[in-house]
Amino acid sequence: MPELPEVEVVRSGLAPAMTGARIVSVAVHDERALTRHAAGAADFVARLEGSEVATVARRGKFLWMPLATAAADGCSAIVGHLGMSGQLLLRSPDAAAERHERIRLFVEHPQHGELAVVFADQRTFGSLAVDALVPTADARAAGWGSTEPLIPSQVSHIARDPMDEAFQDGSFRSALRTRSSAIKRVLLDQSLISGVGNIYADESLWAARIHPETPASALSTIAVNRLLAEVRAVLEKALAEGGTSFDAQYVNVNGEAGYFAHSLNAYGRTGQPCPRCGGPIRRDAFMNRSSHLCPRCQRISRRS
């Protein structure tokens, strides 16, 4: 599933083309892409056509585009979640249909002219919706790309991500003191810290020398600070390299793959030597998926 770097690459690619653009028309080819828009395709189209996009924002793995509609309703946004294989692609309006294309938005931009934004999704777990904007809990700007303290209601339960300047390190440390769950499970809890999925959790824990099964409450303040620093370092490096692409689904708005997969130290390297100590990387079962770690470098202890 795309994580923060992959979604941010998409957001930053969409922003120049969509900020200030007017949505001329909408074609819904498959209503399965509207599972989060309960009112259905006709309502989705009616609420978008004639609207202007104010910006493109992101929190964690969610994207949204606040709208100023012809009816002067500025309190809604297009919300996008890529699911496991969703793509948002910029194309010319007359471009041939993409494989697994579900929705196409035809837009006009004052500088870039006519464009098409295509939502394609092979596995159909992703979705688009029009959703109401609600105030953020902390009255701060909602996320990356946003200057307003307004967030889609469907995203309001998602915590800030560690790249967000409004993320509170102290609150995160305090929350860990009350959590007996494994630290990796906590990193994947999007209501506590967002945007970190399986790949970047494994990479961050490896970099911080913390075993994924270490109880969160057993981590010292120093260890938590080290972990947060490594989470940010890993995410920043992945962003610089365009995200992690293992197959054709993980691409930017131009259909190009990221190459952070070549920089992985633990994830997907079962049996290969640890880049730090040379011992073999191990793959353990974890929450219906896997954890990748170095058993020499990452040991469970009561206090880390």
User: Which segments are annotated as binding site?
Assistant: 100, 123, 179
Q: Tokens 């931009």 label which residue?
A: 109
Neighbouring C-beta atoms of residue 278, cutoff 10 Å: 9
108 is catalytic: no
In whole angstroms, give the CA distance from residue 257 to residue 36.
Answer: 27
Distances (CA, A) of 267 to 8, 63, 74, 97, 195: 21, 26, 43, 34, 17
Annotated binding site for DNA: 100, 123, 179
In whole angstroms, give the CA distance from residue 271 to residue 269.
Answer: 6
In whole angstroms, give the CA distance from residue 224 to residue 210.
Answer: 10
Q: Which of 61, 102, 104, 269 is catalytic?
A: 61
Distances (CA, A) of 163 to 141, 168, 236, 264: 13, 11, 8, 20
61 is catalytic: yes
289 is catalytic: yes
2 is catalytic: yes
Pairing verdict, β 113-121 and 76-81: unpaired
**Which residue numbers are catalytic?**
2-3, 61, 289
